A and B are shown apart, each in its own frame.
Chain A
Amino acid sequence: MVENRPFLSFVTHVTLIVGVGFLCFPVWMALVASSHGPEALSHSPIPLWFGDQMWQNYSDLLFGGMPQVGGVPVGRMMLNSLWMALGITIGKISVSILAAFAIVYFRFPFRMMFFWMIFVTLMLPVEVRILPTFDVVAKLGMLNTRQGLIIPLMASATATFLFRQFFMTIPDELVEAARIDGAGPLRFFWDILLPLSRTNIAALFIILFIFGWNQYLWPLLITADESQYTVVMGIQRMVNSGEQLPVWHYIMGTAILAMIPPILVVVAMQKLFVKGLVESEK
């Protein structure tokens, strides 16, 4: 702050509070709706404060199962989401750190060609080329498998670029010292590069975990079996349930459950998250 202006400070706080209100209000309403029974949500206006059905609703969801999604409990779907998110995250990080290591620390024919091949995938989401990708996965017999769900989403350049950027900042003296001590490339990677990358890996882990957890279209197409549903796509079956009216208190409960893990990760590891986000995008 350059100078003291009490009125402006007041306006600042009001602005921030209104902003926080705008961002929190929808989730507040979802939380409130998930604590009521069907009667309270059958006529307008719906209540703005909590009801007494919260534990009932959430235990129904987590362990009971919903007829619209084949009776699969939301707890099961969350577990599926977790496996998918972890698979994508760990897969992407391992694949891309190796690729970045090769591109930065070696000179070899076609190096730039490989670099550009990875580069063009940078911003190309799977939604854009959905049909042919689905076709390829079907040809490989990977439909309705966990590999089919995870491996195609590992093709992305963001992580490779972040690692490449980071490796460029590591002083050459470290490599020289390692080589004088007789360390080969793999030894150098394992004992020096990997420990130095710890913070970057952690920051990237948060971003990619959220990316993986929030996948929608791909699991929608790949999973045929309801027991394989992930929670973010499963909710769609409850909303667009055809003839039946949507059961809002369960839907909102599912929405809350589906957003808790990624939000927890962001809030608990805020510093790393901000670092990961700002650096992986620039």
Chain B
Amino acid sequence: MQKRVIFRSAWLPYLLLLPQIAVTLIFFFWPAYQALESSFFIEDAFGFSRDWVGLQNYAELFRDEGYIRSFRTTLVFGLSVAALSLSVALVLAVAANRVLHAATAYRTLLIWPYAVAPALAGVIWYFLMNPSLGIVAYWLKLMGYDWNHYVNGDQALLMVIVAAAWKQVSYNFLFFLAGLQSIPKSMLEAAAIDRAGPMRRFWSITFPLLTPTTFFLLVVNLVYAFFETFSLIHATTEGGPYDSTSILVFRVYNTGFVGQDYGSSAAQSVILMIMVVLMTFFQFRFVERKVNY
């Protein structure tokens, strides 16, 4: 895509681009390069000396059981958040697309959590599930289920999954709703005339036609869960108990700022950056090709 009519100037476009390129170079490329560079060194805690160690930082990471566990935790966390928030959002979007009355009111009541910061979502769920005070923990106890995320790692992970998914439902809901509204009514009417019931229509027409939206949302949700939930975890469980909620992006921070191991933190940053770039390209391939049937 190119414009036919353009302006001519030898210097103006560079001047216009200067702010964005400057910010990108200084605060993106320079740090990225630094991460790459220091991932090949081991530095002492005071930064006085450093030794070239090649790929040793990476090798150590993949030998480190804690890091491998973080990988697994991140995967479980990301997939659960995506599955939970996508399915809830899809059900709600299908329902909201069907109502005639009070449609706007429902929409308003369903979209506002988008504006809630992940950190706040975390803190509120942390309060609801607090073993001694939380109302949800209390109800669980009434049902005979003992809840204590301070000692039980699986429960802590479940809590951050629910909090992260809760916040993300609105976002997915809006995109599913937009997707549903772009499905031609005539197709569904034709199917209804052929005596296909609502369930049949959903699974053989609506759901397949939503595939591009679903793929797009899957990637966005994974990116959200992998990288943007740092604050949620930091403000609540702080990776614990026993590392059970320490996802990769939390580990980068912890290794660097708490553990002061710059080389290892840099190596982890590089691995994460590669992951993000891969996911970006994956997403753009799908958006470009528009999976369709």
Contacts and interface: CB of A to CB of B under 8 A. Distances in A.
B236 A217 contact: no
Contact of B262 (A131, A188, A252): A131
Contacts of A140: 26
Interface in B74-123: 88, 91-92, 95-96, 98-100, 106-121, 123
A41 interface: yes
Contact of A23 (B23, B170, B279): B170
Contacts of A117: 21, 24-25, 29
Interface in B200-256: 201, 216, 220, 223, 227-228, 230-231, 234-236, 238, 249, 252-253, 256
A216 B249 CA distance: 14
A133 to B, nearest CB: 4
A22 B135 contact: no
Interface SS of B by simple majority: helix
A248 B127 contact: yes
Interface string B240-281: 000000000100110011000010011001001100110110
Interface string A36-70: 00000101111010000000000000000000000
Interface string A162-177: 0000001000100110
A90 interface: no
Interface stretch (B32-40, B50-58, B63-71, B150-158): B32-40
Contacts of B256: 130-131
Nearest to B272: A128
Contact of A130 (B108, B189, B198, B269): B269
- Tell which of A2, A27, A232 has the most Cβ of chain B within 10 Å: A2
A16 B23 contact: no
A19 B17 contact: no
Interface string A225-254: 000000011011001100000001001100
B276 A136 contact: no
Given A125-B276, A130-B269, 15 more contacts: A15-B95, A29-B124, A44-B132, A105-B3, A127-B228, A131-B262, A133-B27, A136-B31, A172-B5, A179-B7, A210-B114, A233-B231, A239-B236, A248-B127, A267-B112
Ranked 6 nearest A-B pairs via Cβ: A216-B231, A132-B31, A214-B117, A262-B115, A102-B16, A106-B13
28 contacts: A15-B91, A29-B124, A94-B19, A95-B19, A98-B17, A102-B16, A103-B17, A107-B6, A108-B10, A108-B13, A125-B228, A128-B273, A131-B269, A132-B32, A132-B266, A151-B27, A172-B5, A184-B7, A216-B230, A217-B253, A235-B235, A236-B119, A239-B123, A248-B127, A262-B117, A265-B115, A266-B111, A266-B115
Interface of A: 1-3, 5, 8-9, 12-13, 15-16, 19-20, 22-24, 26-27, 29-30, 33, 41, 43-46, 48, 94-96, 98-99, 101-108, 111, 114, 117-118, 120-125, 127-133, 135-137, 140, 151-152, 154-155, 160, 168, 172, 175-176, 179, 184-186, 188, 210, 213-214, 216-217, 220-221, 232-233, 235-236, 239-240, 248, 251-252, 255, 258-259, 262-263, 265-267, 270, 273-274, 277-278, 281-282
Interface of B: 1, 3-10, 12-14, 16-17, 19-21, 23-32, 34-35, 38, 88, 91-92, 95-96, 98-100, 106-121, 123-128, 130, 132-135, 137-138, 166, 169-171, 174-175, 178, 185, 188-189, 192, 198, 201, 216, 220, 223, 227-228, 230-231, 234-236, 238, 249, 252-253, 256-257, 262, 265-266, 269, 272-273, 276-277, 279-280, 283, 287
